[in-house]
């Protein structure tokens, strides 16, 4: 299964896990599912994109306009909180993330690992208790960069 959407913390944090080769349909389907879930709660919902098992972006990754349209839809949700990704150095994913962020109102963050992502989220969401580990998470040095500003993230090391 190339993408899976699930609650990490019910009605508070959605995790989108991508594996293998990501296609346009995967991106649209997971984003559309997230929008549906956001529409079904009054809580602020935060999104985590787990890209740690992504091999590549499909060569026929097309219809970027449709992806931007769907992405804009989620970015305009009143109850969308923080959005973070971890686990990739894929340049195409970073480029597409940058394009989406440029047309949105959010401060999207990318991390090397779930552990670094978790530290950032716990710092900003102390009322939520995130699990210490996820499957297939590897320990690396903490590293985060704001896509919008290019500056390092502000979170405790």
Residue 45: band (very low, low, confident or very high) from pLDDT cuts 50, 70, 90:
very high
Domain ranges of the chain: 3-146
- Read off the pLDDT of residues 91-114 as tens digits, 9 standing for 90 and up: 878 887 777 777 776 778 899 999
pLDDT at 148 (0 to 100): 46
CATH superfamily of 3-146: STAS domain (3.30.750.24)
Q: What percent of the chain has pLDDT over 90?
A: 39
CB within 8 Å of 144: residues ≥ 6 apart: 109, 110, 111, 112, 116, 117, 120, 152, 153, 155
108/47: higher pLDDT: 47
Residue among 78, 61, 82, 73 at smallest CA distance from 32: 73
- Read off the pLDDT of residues 126-157 as tens digits, 9 standing for 90 and up: 999 998 888 543 332 333 444 445 555 444 33
Is the CB of residue 110 less than 8 Å from the CB of residue 94?
yes
């Amino acid at each position: 299964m190339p993408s899976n959407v699930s609650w990490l913390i019910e009605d508070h944090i959605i995790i989108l896990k991508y594996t293998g080769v990501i296609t346009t349909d995967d991106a649209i389907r997971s984003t559309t599912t997230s929008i549906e879930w956001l529409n079904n709660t009054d809580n602020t919902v935060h999104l985590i994109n787990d890209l740690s098992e992504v091999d590549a972006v499909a060569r026929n990754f097309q219809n970027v306009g449709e992806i931007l349209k769907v992405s804009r839809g989620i970015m305009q949700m009143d109850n969308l909180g923080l959005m973070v990704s971890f686990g990739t150095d894929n340049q195409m994913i970073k480029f597409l993330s940058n394009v989406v962020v440029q047309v949105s109102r959010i401060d999207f963050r990318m991390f090397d690992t779930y552990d670094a992502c978790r530290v950032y989220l716990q710092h900003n969401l102390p009322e939520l208790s995130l699990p210490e580990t996820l499957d297939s998470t590897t320990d690396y040095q903490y590293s985060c960069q704001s896509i919008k500003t290019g500056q390092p993230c502000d979170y405790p090391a």
